[in-house]
Structure 1
Amino acid sequence: MENRIIPYGRQDINEEDINAVIETLKSDFLTQGPKVKEFEEKFASYVGAKYAVAVNNATAGLHIGVMALGLKKGDRVITTPITFAASANCVRFVGGEVWFADIDRDTYLLSFEKTKELIESKPKGFFKGIIPVDFAGLPVDLEAFRALALQHDLWILEDACHAPGGYFLDSKKQKQFCGNGIYANASVFSFHPVKHIACGEGGMVTTSSEEIYKELLLLRSHGITKENMSENHGGWFYEMQTLGFNYRITDFQAALGISQLSRNEKGVVRRNEIASRYKEAFNGKIKFQILPENFLNAHHLFVIEVNDRKGLYDYLHENKIFAQIHYIPVHQLPYYKNIGYEMVDLTNAEDYYSKCISLPMYPSLSDEEQFFVIEKIFDFYESK
């Protein structure tokens, strides 16, 4: 164990994945072919949404997501400071204003109470939308957020990049899977290598709105469509109806995604087994993200909070356990400081950041490796 490198996250590529990619590489289509559509249909079915649009990465998905929801220059959107920068940057891409609401100190998710307080502190119409993040894989209570959004005419774009396979039971005791389009207008997923479904790069936007779906399709591919072709037009005909982007995913990435998706349910079970073992070891000794009743955490991450976070981080790295920090609060990044966020009061987020550290969490993590991680954490604190 002493010489084995243990990262915080790792892709799991097997022979079926490799063969799926090879088969597609030998086919007639490397991009804009049938595998993309197949991936979209299977992913939509998996999360329970009506529609899915595959893109080249989740950042692109967030970008066209806010555009499809009608975000314009000067519009204001609320999100969490504890997320990757893209959750906020997508608003800035179209000239919108990002407003941060603080997190819940136990779930690490965007606080419903702080969000409600922020919305109600401004006149109706001041905000246009909310981008809640299923941080670490724990779903946001979108039923509650949806009720709030409806009261104030806001849309919801769910950042579900950490949470394919996660769900909560709503007030009717029905499972609401992340990205199913019931309570959020649209949702975004990531297929980065350390995520549940690895495509190298890639993302997916899901929705149950046909109007949003059609807008996403346009924006993904230069704003171009062939829908209005008539008998007077040849097969070459197309229209550019809006200013879109080249955010397409390739067929061989989609083929890999289809293969990976088929194992995600099993992967989420394994991730929860790993989380349970961490919780058993740390319970009453080290703080970790709580699991509310009736929620299933898909566990992209397992985060603990510790004193002397830098000391533990360095000690684990010395032992080839490459723990990571998720995340530097977005409002503390130089770009956001420079445009006026330096004095924002987000006490919970900043306190969380001072103590958080993400431990190894991926389905192929062995029991032996996990016990080694736990042992080294306790060794560090016992030696102090």
Structure 2
Amino acid sequence: MIPYGRQHIEQGDIDAVVEVLRSDFLTQGPRVVEFERCVAAYVEATHGVAVNSATSALHIACMALDLGPGDWLWTASNTFLASANCGRYCGASVDFVDIDPLTYNMSVPALAAKLVQAEQQGRLPKVVVPVHFAGQSCDMRGIAELAARYGFKVIEDASHAIGARYLDRPVGNCAYSDITVFSFHPVKIVTTAEGGLCTTRDAGLAQKMELARSHGMTRLPELMEGESEGPWYYQQVSLGYNYRLTELQAALGLHQMQSVDRFVARRHALAERYDQLLAGLPLKRPHQTPDSYSALHLYPVVLDDAGQRHRVFEGMRAAGILVNVHYIPVHLQPYYRRLGSQPGDCPQAEAYYAGTISLPLYYDLGEAQQDHVVAALAALLSAGK
């Protein structure tokens, strides 16, 4: 079987985790702090806050920005559910922005047009969550210009994009956003088995997120109401959750971060090879913009004939190639349709979804396996003529 994505684990990763198992700390401890500092330094941000998943990271990012009932969060429809659900966790309403037909990222012209209409209706968003789909950055400079004009906050959902660059700087530096969120799920570029992390340049936002990930609890006297009663003393100063990352996960992530550039470079080599092998087939290959360097979490193709997608998908899986589809537009999900979304709201996202298939792309994918993927796809497309 050839999966669409898979973690890459080396002996050093295993050794790092075993070392923690033999240490005094298994939950929150020094490795978590090291991991936070490592990622923040890598992306040129000031603060890092690690949590148990990117979903949790999105949630505490929204909490830190005081998103709540009566507010609106907007995100791209071409994303995983968590990019929208984080707004609902805070009691906010959620709406969706259509995508660019080349990059499949949030369309800045579509966002601008939607903002004009929303301003007239008195329902501007408080938070916008652009998603760096497949590892390629959105046009963050354009989004930041709109944020300054309309007064909304920006959370970059960079779950796909550790190791990516935008305008020659690492994604996650928050030059054009308030907070950036990364995922370390096993199919991502770097893994902590499960985990997420927020980066920011704002110390106040970092402090809020640190409280939110651990029950709203603090032992810092400067955050308490009244005097501390002693070294054992803590206070809950806000509502929070148990979203903490373990030492085991942080140790794995720390060792994996040593290889992030190598991991991304390998993905680029494989993607370039796909580009060559797929040339001439009736499909659209991923487009890379000149102002970004993608982390290439995914390699999605779009079939010229969307009507063949179901047959091709099943044929690939029957051949032992576990292709996938990223993503079903979130605004078409029953939950969000009950809240008012409907087909036609994001026509570009819907058109992209109708014909897309994600081909296998991961560090250990061999060239012979890649040849098998392309041969199977070509045969299926030829059979459908």
The amino acid that maps onto 2:352 is: Y
Q: CA deviation at 1:231?
A: 8.5
Match of 1:158 among 148, 156, 159: 156
The answer as to whether partners of 2:163 and 2:260 remain within 8 angstroms in 1 is: yes
Tell me which residue corresponds to 2:268: 272
Alpha-carbon distance, 1:345 to partner:
2.0
Q: In the alignment, what sits opposite 1:341?
A: 341
Please give the per-residue CA displacement for 1:298-347, whole angstroms capped at 9, x wherever unaligned: 10000001121111111111110000000111011111112221255211
Q: Aligned residue for 1:205?
A: 198
Contact 2:78 2:349 in 1 (8 A): yes
Q: Tell me, in whole angstroms, the C-alpha distance in 2 between the residues paired with 1:33 and 1:225.
A: 15
* Distance (Å, rounded) in 2 between the aligned partners of 1:8 and 1:344: 29
2:286 is the counterpart of 1:289: yes
Write the letter of the residue equivalent to 1:253.
Q
**Candidates 57, 81, 88, aligned match of 1:85:** 81
- 1:74 equivalent in alignment to 2:70: yes
RMSD, aligned α-carbons: 1.4
Between 1:45-54 and 1:176-185, the stretch displaced more is 176-185
Residues 344 and 68 of structure 1: CA distance in aligned 2, closer, same or farther (over 3 Å): farther
Contact 1:166 1:297 in 2 (8 A): yes
Change (3 A) 1:129 1:284: farther
- CA–CA distance in 1 between the matches of 2:228 and 2:243? 30
Code of the residue aligned with 2:77 in structure 1: it is: P
Q: Does 2:19 match 1:23?
A: yes
**Residue by residue, what CA displacement relative to the aligned partner does 1:90-141 show, whole Å, maximum 9, x if unpaired?**
0011111111111111110010000010011122662212100000001112
Residue deviations 1:220-249 (CA, integer Å, cap 9, x gap): 111111111799632111111101111000
**Does 2:142 match 1:138?**
no
Which of 52, 69, 81 in structure 1 is aligned with 2:48?
Answer: 52
After TM superposition, give the deviation of residue 289 of structure 1 in Å: 2.1
Paired position in structure 2 for 1:373:
373
Aligned equivalents of 2:180 and 2:292: distance in 1? 18
TM-score, normalised by the number of residues in structure 2: 0.95
Q: Report how many residues are paired.
A: 375
Asked if the contact 1:40/1:53 (under 8 Å) is kept, the reply is yes
Verify the 8 A CA contact 2:72 2:123 in the aligned structure 1.
no
What amino acid is aligned across from residue 301 of structure 2 in structure 1?
I
User: 2:212 is matched with which residue?
Assistant: 219
- Percentage of identical aligned residues: 41
CA distance in 2, matches of 1:211, 1:264: 29
Distance 1:351 1:314 in 2: 20
Match of 2:313 in 1: 313
How far is the alpha carbon of 1:284 from its aligned partner?
A: 4.8
Return the alpha-carbon distance in structure 2 between the equivalents of residues 282 and 232 of structure 1. Answer: 65
Matched with 1:177 is 170
Could you tell me whether the CA contact under 8 Å between 1:125 and 1:153 is conserved in 2?
no
User: Could you tell me how far 1:358 is from its partner in structure 2?
Assistant: 0.2
Q: What SS does the corresponding residue of 1:12 show, helix, strand or coil?
A: coil
CA distance in 2, matches of 1:252, 1:258: 10
Q: Secondary structure at the match of 1:79?
A: strand
Q: Is the 8 A contact 1:166 1:298 kept in 2?
A: yes
| Structure 2 Cα separation of the partners of residues 361 and 208 of structure 1 | 32
Taking the aligned partners of 1:103 and 1:288, their CA distance within structure 2 comes to 16
What pairs up with 1:5-20 in 2 under 5 angstroms?
5-20=1-16
- Aligned partners of 1:329 and 1:350 also within 8 Å: yes
Provide the C-alpha distance between the structure 2 equivalents of 1:360 and 1:6, rounded to a whole number of angstroms.
7
> What is the rounded CA distance, in whole Å, between the counterparts of 1:176 and 1:117 in structure 2?
28
Q: Secondary structure at the match of 1:192?
A: coil
| TM-score, with length taken from structure 1 | 0.95
Deviation at 1:78, TM superposition (A): 1.3
Instruction: Give the AA of the match of 1:338.
Output: R
- The amino acid across from 2:170 in the alignment is F
Unaligned runs of 5+ in 2: none
Report if aligned partners of 1:68, 1:216 keep a CA contact under 8 Å in 2.
yes
Counterparts of 2:231 and 2:125 in 1: how far apart (Å)? Answer: 44
Measured in 1, the distance between the counterparts of 2:294 and 2:124 equals 33
Q: Cα deviations across residues 198-223 of structure 1 (Å, max 9, x unaligned)?
A: 11111101101111011111111111
Distance 1:321 1:122 in 2: 44
Letter in 2 for 1:282: L
Note if contact 1:133-1:140 (Cα within 8 Å) is conserved in structure 2: yes
